[in-house]
Structure 1
Amino acid sequence: MNQIIALKGIVPGGLTAHAAPAPSRPQIAAITTEIRLLSACGEIRQAWTELAARAIEPNLFFEPDFALAAAQHLIAFRNVAVLLAWQGAAGTPQRRLLGLIPCFPRNRLFVPDELIGFSDPRIFNGAPLLDAAQAQAVLAAMLSLRRGWVLEGRGLVLRQIDMASPLIAPIRRAAEALRLNTTLSPANPPIRPRYGVPTPNDIEAMQHALARRGKLELVEARSRTELRDAIEILLAMEASGPKGRAGKAVLQDTREVGFLRAMTRALARCRQSRVALLTLDGRPIAGALVIGRAKDGWLYMAARDEGEAPFFPGQVLLALMRQAAPDRTILQPVPPASGPDAVGFGEIRLSPRATGKPRDLAGRARAALRRGLRLPPARAAG
Structure 2
Amino acid sequence: MRGRLIGLDALTQRDLGAWRELAGRALEPNPFFEPEYVLALARGLGQQGAVSLAVAEGRGDWQACMPIGTGRWHRIPLPAVSTWRGHNLYGLLGTPLVGRENSREALAALLQATLKGHRSCFTALEWVTSDGPVAAVLEEILRGARRVPIRFETHERAMLRRREQPDYLERTLSSKHRRELRRQRRKLSEALQGDLRTVDRAGEGAAVDGLIELEAAGAKGERGTVLAAAEGHAAFFREMCRNFAEQGRLQLLSFGTSDQALAMKCNLRAGDGLFMFKIAYDEEFSGYSPGIQLEVDMLDVFHKTPNVDFMDSCADPNNAMINRLWPDRRALVTHVLRRGGATEQLTRPVLLAARSLRECNRRRKS
Compute the TM-score of the two structures, normalised by the length of structure 1.
0.71
* Structure 1: tracts of 5 or more residues without a match: 1-30, 89-94, 192-197, 355-359, 366-382
**Quick one: which amino acid aligns to residue 199 of structure 2?**
E
State how 1:84-233 maps to structure 2 within 5 Å.
84-88=55-59, 95-105=60-70, 115-119=81-85, 120-121=87-88, 122-144=90-112, 150-151=117-118, 155-188=122-155, 200-213=178-191, 214-221=193-200, 224=203, 227-233=204-210
> In structure 2, what is the Cα distance between the partners aligned to 1:64 and 1:72?
12
Counterpart for residue 41 of structure 2: 70
Cα distance per residue 1:201-221 (max 9 Å; x no partner): 543332233234332332424
> In structure 1, what is the Cα distance between the partners aligned to 2:143 and 2:99?
19
Cα distance per residue 1:300-352 (max 9 Å; x no partner): 11111111011110110121132244144542122213232543322123346
Is contact 1:72–1:78 with CA below 8 Å preserved after alignment?
A: no
**Which 10-residue stretch deviates more, 126-135 or 178-187?**
178-187
- Looking at CA atoms only, which structure, 1 or 2, has the larger radius of gyration? 1
Counterpart for residue 336 of structure 2: 349
Secondary structure at the counterpart of residue 318 of structure 1: helix
Instruction: Label 1:189 to 1:64 Cα distance change in 2 as closer, same or farther (>3 A).
Output: closer
- Give the drift of 1:50: 0.8
Is contact 1:99–1:138 with CA below 8 Å preserved after alignment?
A: yes
Instruction: Label 1:232 to 1:281 Cα distance change in 2 as closer, same or farther (>3 A).
Output: same
Secondary structure at the counterpart of residue 317 of structure 1: helix
- Give the drift of 1:223: 6.0
Counterpart for residue 253 of structure 2: 276
Paired residue for 2:312, among 325, 331, 344?
A: 331
Cα distance per residue 1:181-240 (max 9 Å; x no partner): 24445533799xxxxxx955543332233234332332424562xx22211211121222
> In structure 2, what is the Cα distance between the partners aligned to 1:134 and 1:41?
24
> In structure 1, what is the Cα distance between the partners aligned to 2:131 and 2:17?
29
Counterpart for residue 19 of structure 1: none
Q: In the alignment, does 2:7 pair up with 1:41?
A: no
- Give the drift of 1:243: 3.0
- Give the drift of 1:48: 0.5
**Structure (1/2) with the larger strand percentage:** 2
Q: In the alignment, does 2:259 pair up with 1:315?
A: no
Q: Tell which has more relative contact order, 1 or 2 (C-alpha 8 A, sep 6+).
A: 2
Is contact 1:103–1:116 with CA below 8 Å preserved after alignment?
A: yes
**Structure (1/2) with the larger helix percentage:** 2
Cα distance per residue 1:126-169 (max 9 Å; x no partner): 0111112222101222344599x643688532111222232121
State how 1:254-273 maps to structure 2 within 5 Å.
254-273=231-250
- Give the drift of 1:113: 7.5
**Quick one: which amino acid aligns to residue 335 of structure 2?**
I
Instruction: Label 1:166 to 1:284 Cα distance change in 2 as closer, same or farther (>3 A).
Output: same
> In structure 2, what is the Cα distance between the partners aligned to 1:318 and 1:51?
32
> In structure 1, what is the Cα distance between the partners aligned to 2:72 and 2:186?
58
* Structure 2: tracts of 5 or more residues without a match: 159-175, 347-366
- Give the drift of 1:101: 2.1
Report the aligned-residue RMSD.
3.3
